[in-house]
């Protein structure tokens, strides 16, 4: 009998594989963090973390190339705002995963941010992350196609710096329409 709440119970399918994408998991609840990490690994992604605090997450971001992230809103040492701003400004696709609303500053600054309310099953969350990455990649390719000839392509930079996975602040529907 399948239980959609656990990563190992539901196949992501061929189209939803993460293909070695490095995913930062920031979650202060150990069982939820483990469930998310298992789902990322089973989707052939690389887990960075999990981190349970802002301080720990910032250290991991300095040490690793983060290509996507799943962020809880409230952590043991504060809210996720400094982590989210750093990642989003760096072009990393982010999904907020919380039982609470986003802090007002984040909601106002990134009205098109993606949020999944707990207890969204990890597999469903990863499907959303893969879709977000694909959308962001398409937006980046469209932006590059409109670039001037002779420009150095952004792809020469690291994937996060180059916006390989795009930005969340690109034109998108109003807040709440990108929820799981």
pLDDT the model gives residue 139: 63
Phi, psi of 58 (to 5 degrees): -65, -40
Count other C-beta atoms under 10 Å from residue 168's C-beta: 24
Structure tokens at 94: 């982010």
- Tens digit of each residue's pLDDT, the chain (180 residues): 334 444 444 444 544 588 899 999 999 999 999 999 999 999 999 999 999 999 999 999 999 999 999 999 999 999 899 999 999 999 899 999 988 888 888 888 888 889 999 989 988 999 989 988 888 766 666 555 554 444 333 333 433 343 333 333 333 333 343 567
Q: Which stretches within the chain are classed as H helix?
A: 30-42, 54-63, 81-89, 104-109, 122-145
pLDDT the model gives residue 97: 93
Domains of the chain: 10-142+152-156 (3.40.50.2300)
* pTM exceeds 0.95 for this model: no
CA distance 110 to 119: 23
pLDDT the model gives residue 104: 85
pLDDT the model gives residue 179: 67
């Amino acid at each position: 009998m399948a239980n959609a709440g656990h990563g190992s119970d539901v196949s992501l399918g061929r189209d939803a594989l993460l293909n070695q994408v490095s995913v930062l998991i920031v979650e202060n609840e150990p069982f939820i963090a483990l469930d998310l990490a298992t789902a990322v690994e089973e989707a052939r992604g690389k887990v960075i973390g999990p981190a349970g605090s802002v301080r720990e997450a910032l250290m991991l971001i300095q040490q690793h190339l983060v290509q996507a992230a799943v962020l809880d809103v409230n952590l043991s040492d504060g809210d996720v705002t400094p982590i989210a701003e750093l990642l989003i400004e760096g072009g990393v696709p982010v999904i907020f995963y919380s039982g609470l609303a986003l802090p007002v500053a984040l909601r106002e600054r990134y009205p098109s941010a993606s949020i999944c309310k707990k207890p969204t099953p990890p597999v469903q969350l990863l499907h959303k992350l893969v879709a977000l990455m694909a959308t962001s990649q398409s937006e980046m390719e469209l932006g590059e196609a409109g670039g001037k000839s002779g420009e150095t392509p952004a792809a020469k930079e690291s994937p996060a710096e180059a916006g390989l996975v795009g930005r969340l602040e690109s034109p998108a529907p109003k807040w709440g329409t990108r929820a799981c």
